[in-house]
Amino acid sequence: MRRTTAIINARVFDGEQVIHGRTVTIDGAGIAAVGGSVPPHASVVDAGGGTLMPGLIDSHTHTDLDGLRLALRFGVTTELEMMGHWTPEERRAVDKRDDVADLRTAGMGITPPGGHPSEYGPPDEDGSQSDTPDTPHGRGDDGPPGHFAFPFCSTPQETVKMIEQQVGQGCDYVKIMIEDGTVVGHPGLPMITGEVLATAVKEAHRHGKLAIAHATTASAALRAVRAGVDGLGHVFLDGPHTPDIVSEIAAAGTFVIPTLTVASSAMGHTGAEFAADQRVRDKLGKQWLEALRASMNVYPEGDLDAVLGTVAALHAAGVDILAGTDVSEPVPAFGGMAHGASVHHELQLLVAAGLTPVQALRAATSTPARRFGLSDRGRITVGARADLLLVDGDPTTTISDTLSILAVWRRGVHQTPLA
């Protein structure tokens, strides 16, 4: 039976700006009207002057079903996973559910033998990846589950074959690792060759997929941009920006997912202050709270203010900035983040970097939807999916108001509030 719901008396942020209409009508899984009168027989939700916005998009995660469920609790209706192992059957199961966030995934990434992220879980003697207790499906450390042999690419031929396999498994985009270990606590990691990098980008595009690069240093970011990647999965952390590197990224049209939450964690800053917010604390269990209060602390010599300055310069140069967290699993080694919650922290950090609250909200709604070709979400417009977040207050002026969650809809299904 189709459900019709009219949300009235709302300040509507449509993914780009606040609009004049204060009523949004949901019919089934989609948005039927923006503005206008309340349809007969519709259920009415009075927003009481709160702000209605598109469901948030986390553009960099490593996730499992529990992560997707937790994300939705915080109004994150889509997670873009940047490395993980999901079978087509598991993907179809997620697609049928409305009690978890929607999922897009890169599948397994392109990396050389012994390259990142294999340092987090060395292969066993039989060639399979080591598993650890409390590791959920999808392994938040970028690695695959314990029974899955890590795929390496040392030649263009192997790269072609792997991307074909990943596309066959239903990957939505291609992830490429360019990591020497400098800022992840494992200096000296093997680096991808130029031939493999060029092949990976070419093959991703041949299959109609975006090529997203993991690059955490300025030199790696330049390699990625010059190879023609579509997006950078992180902002570089190893030093301040220069006008030349900002200009080159902007001229290439490359988008950037800064992942400021993980950058902060890598530099030893915990999420304890953020976790102390009752709106965060009340929605997280003990394990996730302990993880959020911790930090990775693998690059304590880093300068977070310099990273914020880089994001400000990129944004000023016209580079598309997307909100992403690199959240993974609830263990202190990957601390400082939690699914769903950390998107709100990322928005606060983007504002600290100099974006306005409206610009930060775009980074978690319309901008990732546009750059990843998700034309059915990220905006409040007729025909879009009814993935919606209603909050108390006005996050277009006070960004932390995104945490004052009143209601969440995923594909038109209202989520029961969870304390």
Residue 253: other Cβ atoms inside 10 A: 13
Phi, psi of 92 (to 5 degrees): -65, -35
Torsion from C-alpha of 91, 93, 94, 98, nearest 10 degrees: 160
Per-residue pLDDT at 124 exceeds 50: no
417 vs 408: CA distance, rounded Å: 8
Per-residue model confidence as pLDDT tens digits over 318-330: 999 999 999 999 9
Per-residue model confidence as pLDDT tens digits over 335-383: 999 999 999 999 999 999 999 999 999 999 999 999 999 999 999 999 9
pLDDT of residue 360: 98
Question: Using CA of residue 185, residue 189, residue 193, residue 199, what is the dihedral sign?
Answer: negative
For residue 172, give the nearest of 70, 99, 234, 88 by alpha carbon: 88
328 vs 138: CA distance, rounded Å: 9
- Give me the helices (H) in 176-319, please: 194-206, 218-227, 243-252, 260-266, 272-275, 278-281, 286-292, 304-316
Specify whether the CB–CB gap between 8 and 44 falls below 8 A: yes
Q: State how beta strands 43-46 and 18-19 pair.
A: unpaired
SS3 content of the chain, % helix, strand, coil (to 5): 30, 20, 50
If one compares 130 and 199, the residue with the highest pLDDT of the two is 199
Question: Using CA of residue 13, residue 264, residue 67, residue 392, what is the dihedral sign?
Answer: negative
Instruction: Please compute the mean of the pLDDT values over residues 77-92 and round it to a whole number.
Output: 95
Instruction: Please compute the mean of the pLDDT values over residues 299-322 and round it to a whole number.
Output: 98
Put residue 244 in one of left, alpha, beta given phi > 0 → left and psi -120 to 50 → alpha. Answer: alpha
What global pTM score does this model have? 0.93
Specify whether the CB–CB gap between 120 and 132 falls below 8 A: no
pLDDT of residue 139: 38
Question: Rounded to a whole number, what is the largest CA-CA distance in the chain?
Answer: 67
- H or E element at residue 323: none
Per-residue pLDDT at 32 exceeds 90: yes
Per-residue pLDDT at 10 exceeds 70: yes
Domains of the chain and CATH, by start: 1-54+378-419 (2.30.40.10), 56-376 (3.20.20.140)
Specify whether the CB–CB gap between 319 and 255 falls below 8 A: yes
Average pLDDT, the chain: 92
User: Which residues face 30 on adjacent strands?
Assistant: 27, 385
337 vs 149: CA distance, rounded Å: 27
The DSSP code for 318 is T
pLDDT of residue 131: 34
Per-residue model confidence as pLDDT tens digits over 44-83: 999 999 999 999 999 999 999 999 999 999 999 999 999 9
Token output for 402: 């995104």
Question: In this structure, which amino acid lies at residue 405?
Answer: I
Instruction: Say which range, 31-45, 146-160, 183-197, has the weakest mean pLDDT.
Output: 146-160
Per-residue model confidence as pLDDT tens digits over 223-251: 999 999 999 999 999 999 999 999 999 99
